[in-house]
Structure 1
């Protein structure tokens, strides 16, 4: 049913919770796990000169650590993995990656937001992915949230 499963990562603790759901689905389906980290181009564009370059390098290093952690966990379960770090707007880049790599399922984490946070934010990456995906999206709420 699922041959290619994408688990986007931002390197946060929420990803650990996402893996507890995504990796068993991959095991059951003998799927390849794709791990993607997106260096948010809006952040690097906001910086200037050397600061921009330093920030981009730091984000890429964080991304490498994040996708390597997923790769290690997936490989411990005997799963094939593909890792990638791309630059762009996170939700858009995740959806483009899914289309380009024949992804069958996206497993993405989210942090629960209070009603006030929802009103003041521009929307989360996971919400944008769900709203625009043409494939199933499994959203995993961070277990540390209080359900608001």
Structure 2
């Protein structure tokens, strides 16, 4: 049913909870796990004069986040691939899903308050759910209540 499962990661603690749901689904379907980290182009554009240090730091964080997902997938006996892309997170996640023929997206959410959503211009997970052409499994952070 699911041959390719996408797990977008931002390197946060929420990803650990997301993996506890995503990896059993992938294992039950002998699926390939795709780890995707998006370097948010809005952040790099806001950095003074396109500060290369900001982008480099985000890319380093992305490599660590992808490695974590790939290691957990490998420990579960699953094939995993990882990629870092630049762009706006929701749009880039959806583009990747379409390009790679993803069958399921498993994404974490912090469960932001309505006020936090306004300040941050909405939730990445909400935007993915609203626009995805494939099923999306949303995992709320266990610490979020």
TM-score range, shorter chain: over 0.9
State the 1:136 CA deviation: 0.2
Aligned length: 145
Q: Are residues 61 and 121 of structure 1, via their aligned partners in 2, closer, same or farther at CA, if it must alter by over 3 Å?
A: closer
Find the aligned partners of 1:46 and 1:110 in 2 and give their Cα distance: 24
Q: How does 1:100-119 map to 2 (within 5 A)?
A: 100-119=99-118
Runs of 4 or more above 3 Å deviation: 118-121
Unaligned runs of 5+ in 2: none
Q: Which residue of 2 aligns with 1:137?
A: 136
Q: Which residue of 2 aligns with 1:126?
A: 125
The TM-score normalised by the length of structure 1 is: 0.94
Q: Which residue of 2 aligns with 1:76?
A: 75
Unaligned runs of 5+ in 1: none
Q: Which residue of 1 aligns with 2:31?
A: 31
State the 1:137 CA deviation: 0.2
The TM-score normalised by the length of structure 2 is: 0.96
Q: CA RMSD in A?
A: 1.1
1:41-93 C-alpha deviation (Å, 9 max, x unpaired): 010001123x6200000000000000000000000111000100000000000
